[in-house]
Amino acid sequence: MLTFYIIIIVLFLLSFTSLIVGVSNDAVNFLNPAVGSKAAKLKTLFILVSIGVILGAVFSNGMMEIARKGIFNPEHFYFDEVMFIFIAVMFTNVILLDAYNTLGLPTSTTVSLVFALLGASVGMALIKTSTQDGATTLMSYINTSKALAIIFGILFSIAIAFITGAFIQWLARLLFTFNYESKLKYFGALFGGISITVIIYFMLIKGVKDASFMTDSAREYINKHTAIILCLSFVVSSIVLEILYLLFRINVFRVVVLVGTMALAMAFAGNDLVNFIGVPLAGLASINIYIESGLGEGSLLAMGALSGPVQANMYILIGAGFIMIFSLWFSKKARSVIKTSIDLSRQGEGHERFGSSLLARQIVRFAVNSSKAFGTIVPDALQARISKRFEPKAYAIDNVDDRPAFDLLRASINLIVASILIALGTSLKLPLSTTYVSFMVAMSTSFADKAWGRESAVYRITGVLSVIGGWFITAIVSFVMAALILVVVYFGGLISIVILVVFTVFFFVRSNLMHRKRNLEQEEVVASISNSFTEETKDQLLQFTERINLNLLESFDNICDFKFKKIKKRLQKSLEIEADTKAYKKRIYHTLSITGISFENSGVYYVQMIDYLRETSDCLKYIIEPAFEHVSNNHKELSKAQRESLRKLGGPLAFYFNEYSSVLKNDSFEDLSRLNSMATELINVISALRSEQIKRIRSKNDPTSSSLLLINILQESENLIGDLQKMIKAYIQFRVSF
């Protein structure tokens, strides 16, 4: 019995941690629209969200049965087996969600819970069927109909959220346009009235019936007078919003965003609180059932009683709500997850976090071709009128960081559509993923707003696909991890639970330290860019130059030695350098838009400098890549004369790179003439070596493939030196004009 009391204590401790990591992940669901549109200060938003979370926690009682009987059939499990399932699920949730938060990626707490319950239940069922006499079939242990309904409901919600969000956003933008200020006088109050009425209907009328404090008479009154309540809500809210606009010029969309933020936070707490405390509450109910049974052996008590109705303690729900609020106010990881979602849905261009992928390129190509085909059908005049209504608004704010990622209209649609879908799922007892719904609505509205332009579409789609792929990984990993932890706990007993607690604490602390370290590094980068940008630029150039130097000279030795593994390693290093310089170049837009740095005269030279750096890394790859192919294809080794040619080039190159680094490091621009002389001498050396190789080709002294390889090395080395010279000249002009 002591073991099970320890398990219930650990369950509630893990639920406390789960509330912290869960809110850090799910804060993006209800804060993304308001933060992205800059509807209010963050402190104001947190206050509204806190109110919504408490209300949602009170209304969440109807979802608690999912953890008790939604995935497995409790009547086929004994008390000790159920407790092992619950502890495995909680360990899985905490570890998995914290890992995603550390990476700054939004995932689904609902999917994590559902598949962890499924994995742990399947794991226990497999143990029973393989070790116990008289055990039934595997499928009889799982509530397959309910589990499949939940899984397909979650997947179906992705498509519904995207289609609904895109359609409603397109209609709203067609009506209001991006310059919607002039339309607010005519349609703003009606839009706001409808929005607030929808919120009241789904948040209160659909959610209030399951609140633990509601009486039967109150529920009956609301059910009978639903139409009157909705009509009064529409009329009163529309009139109030119109008065606020006419008298105080208060933006209706801002009011809708603030009310919607609180409503979506309420929907989140009402739907997702089960993901954090549903399992511990089910464990507590199991303990009570066990004590009331009077049986001394937990392995003799079947847990069919868990299938009965559930009524959670309201004080526990409110307490959980306050823990969620505390986490929201103080979580740094929540801001990282919010940033990912906002970056993928912002209206303007800028630095893209995600790269390109084949599937994303195919999707963009299909969309472009479809748009052209559609353009041949729709009259030009109609196309022009529609396009004009989708022309983005030009902000008068110079600092890019101070501009909203999207406007208040889109933020309103994000909140209203997501609130409706999530609350509808809650009222139907389906634990929809608030992350899936909110994220897909945000992506669909940005798509309808044409935020995914030709310059950014492939990167945005890659990002969306990466996040969706992460969701499927969540399902697979949570299923497998919960099953494995279940096996460990079942056979390891109390000792294994203690070890898992220690591991979870270690993982949680370590991930927080890693996240804090990464944030400090990012802050240091921002500080260096803002305060000593030229020094930071010089350091970057020095690092890249030294990496290119080391890789190039070592590749010459490896080519002469004809060692496959060593040349392969050089190729990998050159590809890393190429990727890093490519990423450095992609940050040009962000760098040139940083507040406090004037690029009025130096911007052109800065762009040129990075372009030449990029060309230099390409030259390095074009030297090593053919060498790797030459060795991997087992062609003949370089002749003695060819190896000697590479060594003749390697010595002067080493001296040149040393002088180059010295000029950069010390800003000794007066030594530039000496560096130019060394570059000229190197070009002459390369020309002489090229002439010698051509003579050997004519005399047929060297193999064809190795001759072509050496000619390529000499040519790309000459190009590399030329690009380095251009880069340092651009750097000097950049420093002088900065």
pLDDT digits (tens, 9 = 90+) for 123-133: 988 888 887 77
pLDDT tier for residue 642 given thresholds of 50, 70 and 90 = confident
| Single-letter amino acid code for the residue at 40 | A
Query: What is the average pLDDT value for the chain, to the nearest integer?
Result: 79
The widest CA-to-CA distance across the chain, in whole angstroms, is: 105
pLDDT on residue 531: 46
pLDDT tier for residue 97 given thresholds of 50, 70 and 90 = confident
| Single-letter amino acid code for the residue at 241 | L
pLDDT tier for residue 236 given thresholds of 50, 70 and 90 = very high
pLDDT tier for residue 71 given thresholds of 50, 70 and 90 = confident
CA distance 588 to 466: 24
pLDDT tier for residue 457 given thresholds of 50, 70 and 90 = low
pLDDT tens for each residue of 330-370: 766 566 556 666 666 666 555 555 556 676 677 767 766 77
CA distance 15 to 109: 13
Instruction: Give this prediction's pTM.
Output: 0.64
**632: CB partners within 8 A, 6+ apart:** 564, 568
pLDDT on residue 596: 47
CA distance 28 to 34: 10
CA distance 30 to 32: 6
Q: What is the mean pLDDT of residues 216-245?
A: 86
Beta bridge partner(s), residue 331: none
pLDDT on residue 240: 92
> Does the pLDDT of residue 397 top 60, yes or no?
no
Beta bridge partner(s), residue 222: none
Q: What share of the chain is helix, strand, coil (3-state, %, to 5)?
A: 85, 0, 15
pLDDT on residue 357: 64
> Does the pLDDT of residue 418 top 50, yes or no?
yes
> Does the pLDDT of residue 440 top 70, yes or no?
yes
pLDDT tens for each residue of 176-190: 888 887 788 788 889
pLDDT on residue 733: 82
CA 12 to chain centre: 29
> Does the pLDDT of residue 114 top 90, yes or no?
no
Encoded tokens for 365: 């190509």
- For the chain, domains (ranges, CATH) are 2-522 (no CATH), 532-737 (1.20.58.220)
pLDDT on residue 351: 52
Q: What is the mean pLDDT of residues 624-647?
A: 87
Cα–Cα nearest to 68, from 478, 607, 431 = 431
CA distance 203 to 270: 9
Per the model's pLDDT, the better-predicted residue between 482 and 157 turns out to be: 482
* The dihedral formed by the CA atoms of 694, 695, 699 and 705, expressed in degrees to the nearest 10: -30
pLDDT tier for residue 432 given thresholds of 50, 70 and 90 = low
pLDDT on residue 535: 76
Cα–Cα nearest to 310, from 115, 69, 545 = 69
Encoded tokens for 169: 């956003």
**359: CB partners within 8 A, 6+ apart:** 461, 465
Indicate the range of 513-527, 546-560, 577-591 predicted with least confidence. 513-527
CA distance 55 to 58: 5
Asked if 531 contacts 631 with a C-beta cutoff of 8 angstroms, the reply is: no
